[in-house]
Amino acid sequence: MVLLAVLPPPRVPSSRRPRASRRLPAFTLVELLVVIAIIGTLVGLLLPAVQAAREAARSMSCKNQLKQLGIACQSINDAKRGLPPVASPSSRDLTTLAGSGYRGATGFTAFTWLLPYIEQGNLFDLANRTVYTPVPGAPGAGTIYAVSIPSFLCPSEMSSPSGMGATTSGGATEWAVGNYAVNYNVFGNPTAATPEARIQGTSRISQSMPDGTTSTVLIAEKYGTCGSSGNVNDSSTNGNLWSDSNSRWRPVFCINETMQTPSTPGYTACAVFQAAPHWIKACDSARAQTPHYGGMSVTLGDASVRSVQGDIDPVAWANVCHPADGQSVGDW
């Protein structure tokens, strides 16, 4: 009898053993939709906060610009024994009736005079007392008035993102905009006999502000391009051009006229500003405008900066824009 030995099956190395297939867990369609909905909700909650933070930063930058302009006004007032005038009678005319330190310049505005005090002394020297001096590499007309000055721009104001006028009306696309304007009741001479004389003021800080420097507005915000027709190139569209002394383009407020030429003598009851109007559908160029929903930022006579709520009493606004009306403004 032959006995057969039963041998165990050969061992298969572990590396050769077949592995049982595993199904990895996966999201169901419903779960994916829930996750997407949660992400969308979080983004919706965070986006306004991010936008608010960005606007707060832009608003702070704008206030810093106004502060520097206030310091510049103090400095030029000391250096030339008075503030600069609103503007020359036109871009082709000489300033002849302002303080002695400001006479003889062609087409200058108050902001042209401020250039040396905001670290733009080279541009001021190049101008050589006329805004028509060519500037190598400048956009638009290629002259002094076509140079965009960062210190004159508020990052929240989006009517003229290129820094140049956004309307072809009046050839404004050849000129650089500004987002700040001077108070006619301070930088002008409202009691003078003629419109040309009224925009050539001779005011001095403190002496011309008996109501107090802390209660007198010097500079406010204004849109670079402003209209209400809905058509940017409509003939009614105006602008705020930092170095344009031609009527409706002057960087000034409180004249209360769209042509920016004071037609009658006397201090004005300054029209209250607009808070965040649409720049081409609801903008009134006879007023100042602020792009900030929280209210207008202004520079006062002591170079401080203050935020003014959009619902300010119009009488209170007129009082703080008049340097010598003798009215107590209280808490405004």
Tokens of 153: 């721009």
Structure confidence by residue, pLDDT tens digits, 199-228: 999 999 999 999 999 999 999 999 999 999
Q: Is residue 287 part of a domain?
A: yes
Coil, strand, or helix at residue 150?
Answer: helix
Q: Is residue 191 part of a domain?
A: yes
Q: Is residue 28 part of a domain?
A: no
Q: Is residue 15 part of a domain?
A: no
State the DSSP code for 252. E
Structure confidence by residue, pLDDT tens digits, 91-141: 999 999 999 999 999 999 999 999 999 999 999 999 999 999 999 999 999
Per the structure, the count of domains in the chain is 1
Residue 171: domain span: 84-320
- Ranking 36-50, 102-116, 145-159, 197-211 by mean pLDDT, the lowest is 36-50
Structure confidence by residue, pLDDT tens digits, 82-92: 999 999 999 99
Q: Is residue 196 part of a domain?
A: yes
The residues near 254 (Cβ < 8 Å, ≥ 6 apart) are: 183, 184, 185, 268, 270, 271, 288, 321
Residue 1: band (very low, low, confident or very high) from pLDDT cuts 50, 70, 90? very low
- Ranking 4-8, 182-186, 296-300, 315-319 by mean pLDDT, the lowest is 4-8
Share above pLDDT 90 across residues of the chain, in percent, rounded to a whole number: 80
Handedness of CA 83, 252, 247, 265 (dihedral sign): negative
Torsion of CA 91, 96, 101, 104, to 10 degrees: 60
Q: Is residue 166 part of a domain?
A: yes
Q: Is residue 147 part of a domain?
A: yes
Q: Is residue 243 part of a domain?
A: yes
pTM equals 0.86
- Contact assessment for residue 137 and residue 114, using Cβ atoms and an 8 Å cutoff: no
Quote the CA–CA distance of 166 and 83 in Å, as a whole number: 30
